[in-house]
């Protein structure tokens, strides 16, 4: 399970990160709201722990922006003692739960487990589907959704995306992609691979000119970033 912790208190970052990792969670951290929002939009997480009081962009605004962009990842907000308005606003803006500081880590863990049990996103990355950033891929239906909008892919674009996701982390030469996706009997050029990769980036990446997921490995080929 992968958790994003957005918190600016250094001591709490260290404490929570160490404890969550000891519970076998993969933890990424951000120390301000802008960095946290950027990570949440470009990477796939099972849960986001989001402090309300953050530099650059407060947690309420981050939560609102995530929901407006179609990110349905469960959000657990951390609020200051007695700040009832923060709790109410957080829930209205799309947070799934809140915890008041100071808190016992054991209670945080219990709330995390409860949220993950209820979340339809949990264990989504499987043989049936995969989620990255704000994109969901349904392998069985051959459907791709980005920001809650269906994305039209050609058959070859989908086959290429499927292959890259299934073999994420590995670098594939253009010739290997031609063999695996187009087939040994097909006669396209390696330029065909470049064109299809460019189309996928244009349709799926937040910034196609600087892709986060479908990456070029200069001198070798392409890979899907394994995160």
The domain locations on the chain are 2-118, 129-224
Cα angle 16, 22, 28; round to 5: 50
Inter-residue contact 61 to 51 (CB < 8 Å): no
Contact predicate 65/135, CB 8 Å: no
The total number of residues written for the chain in this structure: 227
The CA–CA distances, whole Å, from 9 to 79, 108, 207 equal 13, 16, 31
Cis peptide leading into 135, omega within 30 of 0? no
- The CATH fold assigned to 129-224 is Arc Repressor Mutant, subunit A (1.10.10)
Q: Selecting from 3.40.50.280, 1.20.120.1200, 2.40.50.140, 3.40.50.2300, what CATH number does the domain 2-118 have?
A: 3.40.50.2300
Predicted structure pTM score: 0.54
d(CA 100, CA 79): 5
* DSSP line for 106-159: HHHHHHHHHHHHH-TTTT-SSSSEEEETTEEEETTTTEEEETTEEE---HHHHH
pLDDT along the chain (227 residues), means of 10: 90 91 88 92 88 90 87 85 70 84 86 76 59 84 85 92 90 90 69 93 93 92 84
* Residue 206 half-sphere exposure toward CB, CA atoms < 13 A: 15
- Give Cβ neighbours of residue 29 (< 8 Å, ≥ 6 apart): 4, 5, 6, 7, 13, 17
């Amino acid at each position: 399970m992968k958790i994003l912790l957005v918190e600016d208190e250094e001591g709490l970052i260290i404490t929570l990160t160490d404890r969550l990792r000891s519970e076998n969670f993969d933890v990424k951290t951000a120390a301000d709201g802008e960095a946290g929002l950027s990570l949440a939009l470009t990477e796939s997480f099972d849960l986001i722990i989001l402090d309300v009081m953050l530099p650059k962009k407060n947690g309420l605004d981050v939560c609102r922006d995530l929901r407006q962009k179609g990110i349905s990842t469960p959000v657990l907000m951390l609020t200051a003692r007695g700040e009832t308005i923060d709790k109410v606003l957080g829930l209205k803006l799309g947070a799934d739960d809140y915890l008041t500081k100071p808190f016992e880590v054991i209670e945080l863990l219990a709330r995390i487990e409860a949220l993950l049990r209820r979340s339809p996103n949990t264990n989504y990355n499987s043989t049936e589907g995969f989620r990255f950033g704000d994109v969901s891929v349904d392998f069985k239906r051959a459907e791709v959704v980005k920001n809650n909008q269906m994305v039209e892919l050609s058959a070859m674009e989908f086959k290429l995306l499927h292959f890259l996701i299934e073999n994420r982390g590995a670098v594939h030469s253009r010739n290997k992609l031609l063999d695996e996706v187009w087939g040994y009997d097909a006669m396209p050029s390696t330029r065909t691979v470049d064109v299809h990769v460019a189309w996928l980036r244009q349709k799926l990446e937040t910034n196609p000119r600087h892709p986060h997921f479908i990456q070029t490995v200069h001198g070798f080929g392409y890979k899907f970033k394994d995160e």
